[in-house]
Amino acid sequence: MKMFSYIVQRIFWGIVTLWVVVTVTFMLMHGIPGGPFDGDSLQQMNETVRANLEAKFGLDRPYIEQYGLYLSNLFKGELGISITYSPRTVKQIIARGFPVSAKLGLVSIVISVFIGVVLGIWAALKRSKWQDTLVKVFTTIGITIPGFVLATMLIYVFAVKLRLLPSYGFRSIKHVILPAIALSLGSIAFIARLTRSSMLDVIRQDYIRTARAKGLSPTTVIYKHALKNALMPIVTYLGPLVASLLTGSFIVEKIFSIPGMGGEMVSAIGNRDYMMILGLTTFFSIILIVTYILVDIIYVLIDPRLKFD
């Protein structure tokens, strides 16, 4: 019963958070000068045509009425019609782009978690040795190099110079490798640091000393007793990581010409496509909120020290 109440409470605050995000996005979107029909190529548009277009998409109505209409449609599961791609709806565009971003994101998540945890454990077990120093150098580089810089370097080395991998598109497993690495490096570095720090803290605990005193093998002590608690910070980090990678990296997808959600958001902002901006922001927020709720539930389930309250 406590678990059910906890989940209901988290869902309630998730809905409140979503409402705040939608409201702030709506206000900022309409507060910025310009509109979807104010671009350089549209300056010569006939005023009658402009008025008809604004009426078609409801942009001639008062802001409060537009806001209320959007919330009403959102409650029904509708995200509106894209101004740029009319008559296609925002939901149709998401249905086209999200699977691409999700596939790339899942590959990046697996790479990030597996390599990051392995490197973190390795560095912790080899503390103050050359292996630990090597991991520290790698993680520092991984955290400091921006994704777009790494993506450009990967294209130059592996696509232009070595001609081993394609530099754009998303048609085969070869097309996934470079963007997945570009998306994963920062996460690998962060997870490795978290795992190393957490593992060093755990292996100093009394129950680990007791396990060693019982004559258990080092492998059993590390992987059966220490690793579970050492991974707790990683579980917390997985919430924003999963949400960001599943919904796509704007810059990396643009660099590799991947037809995912990232490119759609960049185009929507550039075109002042209000419905697309609101719809994609809402969709991204829902993904983020759901992953945070799931992570919170998993966190409580795997850590007996915490309670549902």
Give me 86's structure tokens: 């009319």
In tens digits, what is the pLDDT along the chain, a chain of 309 residues?
667 777 788 888 888 988 998 888 888 877 776 666 665 544 555 667 767 777 777 777 788 888 888 888 888 888 888 887 777 888 888 888 888 888 888 888 889 889 998 898 888 888 888 888 898 888 888 888 887 788 888 888 888 888 888 888 787 888 888 888 888 888 898 888 888 888 888 777 777 777 777 777 777 777 777 777 777 778 778 777 777 777 667 778 888 888 877 777 777 777 778 888 888 888 888 888 888 888 777 777 766 555 555
Pairs from 296-304 (Cβ < 8 Å, separation ≥ 24):
296/10, 296/239, 297/3, 297/6, 297/7, 297/10, 298/235, 299/232, 299/235, 299/236, 300/6, 302/228, 302/232, 302/235, 303/229, 303/232
| Domain ranges (residues) in the chain | 98-260
**Chain segment 22-74, per-residue pLDDT in tens:** 888 888 877 776 666 665 544 555 667 767 777 777 777 788 888 888 888 88
Give residue 1's pLDDT.
60
Distance CA 155, CA 181 (A): 11
DSSP per residue over 232-280, as a string? HHHHHHHHHHHHHHHS--HHHHHHTT--SHHHHHHHHHHHT-HHHHHHH
Question: Is domain 98-260 in CATH 3.30.460.10, yes or no?
Answer: no
pLDDT for the residue 115: 92
Alpha carbons 124 and 121: distance in angstroms, whole number = 5
Helical packing angle, 130-144 and 90-125, nearest 10°: 160
Q: What angle do CA 109, 21, 148 make, to 5 degrees?
A: 40
Taking the C-alpha atoms of residue 161 and residue 154, their distance in angstroms, rounded to an integer, is 10
Rounded CA separation 23/44 (Å): 32
Each residue of 267-290: b (16+ CB within 10 Å) or e?
bbeebbbbbbbbbbbbbbbbbbbe
Asked if residues 287 and 247 have their Cβ atoms less than 8 Å apart, the reply is yes
Q: What gap in Å lies between CA 66 and CA 58, rounded to an integer?
A: 7
Give the pLDDT score at 303.
63
Per DSSP, the residues of 23-46 read HHHHHHHHHSS--TT-SGGGTT--
Rounded Cα distance between 196 and 118, Å, is 9
Q: Which of 189, 190, 184, 192 is nearest to 124 (CA)?
A: 192
